[in-house]
Structure 1
Amino acid sequence: MIARDVSKNIVEDWTNQKAIIVLGPRQVGKTTLIQKLVENKKVLFLNGDNPQTRLTFANANFNFLLQTVHDYDVIVIDEAQRIQNIGVTAKMLIDAKLDKQIILTGSSSLDLGNEINEPLTGRKWEHQLFPLSWNEVKNHYTFANAYERLEEFLIYGLYPEVVTESKKQKILLQLAGSYLYKDILELVNIKKPDLLMKLLNALALQLGSEVSYNELSKILGVDRMTVVNYIDLLEKAFVIFRLYPYSSNQRNEITSKPKIYFYDNGIRNAIIGQFAPLVNRQDLGALFENFFISEKIKKLTYNGFYGKTHYWRNTQQAEIDFIEILENEISAYEIKYNPNKKVLFTKSFTEKYHPKNTYVVNKDNFWEYL
């Protein structure tokens, strides 16, 4: 098993006083991670994907729950968002002070159905698990081996099974076909599933570019709010994430166009059906940018980063690819795959915002920032 960076964070929150929630897309290793953490403990493992489990534990009464969990130290509820009122069930167990650790996992933000967040307010520690990170792969395979596989990671991504198995395209095509969106399609009862796939294709083709909701609505033939709602759902299912432009005027940040990135390069490439080697690709720069920014998001999340992340662009189209802001200090990153490409940070940014750090990231030094 490849050791996961989030493990130490979960162990620190292991108190039996609050539920531990582990969120992340399907197939990133949530179940494997939990199984490793609960070794040598008496564990009740419930799977929300099982119809009988959903039927049995939806609206279960307190006495039934007490009898069910009596002989166990840990209660794990996998894909918990699929069990009706599971948040209320978990709340009853926590409030009973049974000295048992409750662990819930989910492949969406769980508030898709408000099953968890409201009942467990003040009673949960929340953690996010991503596809494998550069740091995890490097630590497992050694730096030299991981770096040799950089092209593979840019094309096929870092889902655990993709990294460890040989049938990479087959695995990715299955994931990108519908499996990742199972919770969206079932929980939200989307009326136009084909539209979801068309939207994903459009977003994949615009990787690393500003996204206009109005333009997407015209391309897809639906109203703007439908596009916004579908993008919000895809973000809650951990398929994509938005990066908003930085401005000293926060109102401008909210109304300006975001950039949309994929949490995994392989999923993005599977959506557009493109697994060609880097030498034959026109989107190499976008692939490397998506890889680096998604890796930064993983690292910052695992390290408890509480600042903000943005990109920056002015009306003259000068741009900074990635910005971290913490305690009013700015670190700015320009991301270029080719280490020989000359990069200058525009004075219109540096003279106005006075960044503490400026970094030029390329294929020869990206690991220094991850």
Structure 2
Amino acid sequence: MLRSEEIIEVLSPLNFWGKGQEVGIERTSYLQKMQEYLGGKDVVLSVIGVRRAGKTYLTKQLLKLKAEHASLEKTLYVLLEEPKFDPYLGLNLLDEVYQAYRDYVASEGEVYLVLDEIQNVLHWEKWVRTMLEKKEKVKIIITGSSSKLLSSSLATVLTGRTITLKVYPLSFDEFLLFKGQRVEKKYELLSKRRKLEKLLLEYITYGGFPQVVSSEDPTLKISMLKEIFEGIVLRDVVARHKIRDAVLAKTVAEVSVNQFACLTSAAKTRNMMVNLIGRKVSPNLILNLLSYLEEAFLIFQIPIFSYKVKEQKLYPKKTYCIDSGIINAVTIKFQENMGRLFENIVAISLIRKFGIENIFYWKSREQEEVDFVLKKGLKIEQLIQVCYEVLDKEVEKREEKALLKAAKELYCSNLLVISRDTRKRKKVGPFEICYLPLLDWLLGDF
């Protein structure tokens, strides 16, 4: 058991009342949502996302804003991956930390409390619920790098009391902000185009993890990305789920990342693993590992669009990776995959904006494919094809053929083709197809 004085010594360097804190560049859209969500009564804000996406900086930006309106002492940040807390992780530690803070820092008044990487504390949800039921003057923000942070059993304990905010690596807009660039007017997309295209290539190559974006050294960027990848696999998959074979888990992760923007299945992944490691692998283990990689936000799996649930379950899913920089760090033939990289960038942008539950792919019996079906409520909102270039007439014809067939079947007239530099509108029968460069689409199609 830690003494109160020892707890304050651990907390002090990580809190505004103990030491000046680095908060990074503000990500305004997330901050606005966080403040809005915390406006409710007896609400716990859950901030989740892939490791190193910037959750800690975001919560500290929020605490800084609150400190400016009240005082530094009315904020408390607790890192539950702090090594000195490791031997004591449990509900008693949460009690002791909170009481030490009240005894030494702020004995009264409302406090904004951040519990960073809360999943390290078993049954943490019971402590949070107790705090709410006791009507403690505290606004609680929890963070974690697992999509299952609020699983069904935990949600039962905190029914109606949680709001979840998912944090992703930087969008291209945010990336430009980190690079000191803004595009606010239509003419700037023209006047700055060469510079923006260069920055887009950097974004595709090294991705949007804030720490990586802030580095100027290409070699260091790749090292950071490899470290992030290994951290996700070893800490958020192997350690969290007590996987005995860490090498197998890492290999499955590498294979999954290498299959970005491709149709995959557990059976296909298992067969690849058998060939790679030369021994039998349990199908259930592969299924579990793929599920854990999704939970850790390393990969996303998008189903085929069908009105039949059974078909969605049976057909292969399309795999996408959280960040193109990780793809660069893990795959071998990065530069040969620009079309797939474009598709991966679009996929993550759509997931970030609309939620993965509203994104599908479409495939005909003749194997014609549309990359993205965007659903809004019960309506098909848009059909999107992505390719690197459509200068070749055969490529253009192929992309349009699938798009038009899906448009007729799904009763959707909002058709889009995203490529490197083609911008036009093309009338094909009763339909009009919009062609946009990836750069323009990412910046909101001025």
Conserved 8 A contact 2:170-2:210: yes
* Counterpart Cα distance in 1 of 2:231 and 2:77: 26
Of residues 50-59 and 101-110 in structure 1, the stretch that sits farther from structure 2 once superposed is: 50-59
Structure 1 position 89, deviation (Å): 1.1
Q: 2:113 aligns with which of 69, 75, 94?
A: 75
1:126 aligns with 2:177: no
Conserved 8 A contact 2:172-2:203: no
Q: 1:355 aligns with which of 397, 412, 417?
A: 412
Structure 1 letter corresponding to 2:182: T
Question: Which ranges of structure 2 fall in alignment gaps of 5 or more residues?
Answer: 1-23, 184-191, 275-280, 422-436
Conserved 8 A contact 2:43-2:163: yes
Structure 1 position 104, deviation (Å): 0.6
* Counterpart Cα distance in 1 of 2:36 and 2:150: 27
Q: 1:319 aligns with which of 363, 369, 372?
A: 369
Give the TM-score, by structure 2 length.
Answer: 0.75
Correspondence for 2:425? none
Correspondence for 2:12? none
Of residues 344-353 and 119-128 in structure 1, the stretch that sits farther from structure 2 once superposed is: 344-353
Correspondence for 1:142? 182
Correspondence for 2:354? 300
More relative contact order, 1 or 2 (CA 8 Å, 6+ apart)? 1
Correspondence for 1:256? 315
Conserved 8 A contact 1:263-1:294: yes
Structure 2 letter corresponding to 1:344: E
Structure 1 position 212, deviation (Å): 2.5
Distance change (3 Å), C-alpha of 1:368 and 1:219? closer
Distance change (3 Å), C-alpha of 1:192 and 1:139? same
Structure 1 position 112, deviation (Å): 8.7
Aligned length: 361
Structure 2 letter corresponding to 1:353: L
* Counterpart Cα distance in 1 of 2:80 and 2:95: 21
Correspondence for 2:243? 190
Correspondence for 1:2? 25
Structure 1 position 135, deviation (Å): 2.4
* Counterpart Cα distance in 1 of 2:271 and 2:150: 27
CA radius of gyration, larger in: 2
Correspondence for 2:432? none
Question: Which ranges of structure 1 fall in alignment gaps of 5 or more residues?
Answer: 276-280
Correspondence for 1:269? 328
* Counterpart Cα distance in 1 of 2:95 and 2:270: 51
Structure 2 letter corresponding to 1:295: S
Of residues 63-72 and 14-23 in structure 1, the stretch that sits farther from structure 2 once superposed is: 63-72
Correspondence for 1:338? 389
Conserved 8 A contact 1:110-1:117: no
Deviation string 1:90-143 (CA, Å, 9 cap, x unpaired) is 111122222311011111124498885443222111111011111222345224
Structure 1 letter corresponding to 2:345: F
Correspondence for 2:306? 247
* Counterpart Cα distance in 1 of 2:244 and 2:359: 33
Conserved 8 A contact 1:87-1:115: no
Percent of aligned pairs with the same residue? Answer: 24
Of residues 61-70 and 234-243 in structure 1, the stretch that sits farther from structure 2 once superposed is: 61-70
Please state which structure has a larger fraction of its residues in helix: 2
Conserved 8 A contact 2:256-2:299: no
* Counterpart Cα distance in 2 of 1:117 and 1:68: 29
Structure 1 position 339, deviation (Å): 4.8
The DSSP-based 3-state class of the residue aligned with 2:367 is: coil
The DSSP-based 3-state class of the residue aligned with 1:3 is: coil
Conserved 8 A contact 1:81-1:116: no
Structure 2 letter corresponding to 1:30: K
Structure 2 letter corresponding to 1:13: Y
Q: 1:287 aligns with which of 341, 363, 387?
A: 341
1:108 aligns with 2:108: no
The DSSP-based 3-state class of the residue aligned with 1:368 is: helix
Give the TM-score, by structure 1 length.
Answer: 0.89
* Counterpart Cα distance in 1 of 2:132 and 2:196: 42
Correspondence for 2:256? 203
* Counterpart Cα distance in 1 of 2:312 and 2:305: 6
Structure 1 position 22, deviation (Å): 0.4
Structure 2 letter corresponding to 1:163: V
Distance change (3 Å), C-alpha of 1:74 and 1:112? closer
Structure 1 position 146, deviation (Å): 4.4
Deviation string 1:7-46 (CA, Å, 9 cap, x unpaired) is 2111111135111110011111111111111111521211
Q: 2:75 aligns with which of 37, 43, 65?
A: 43
Distance change (3 Å), C-alpha of 1:213 and 1:146? same
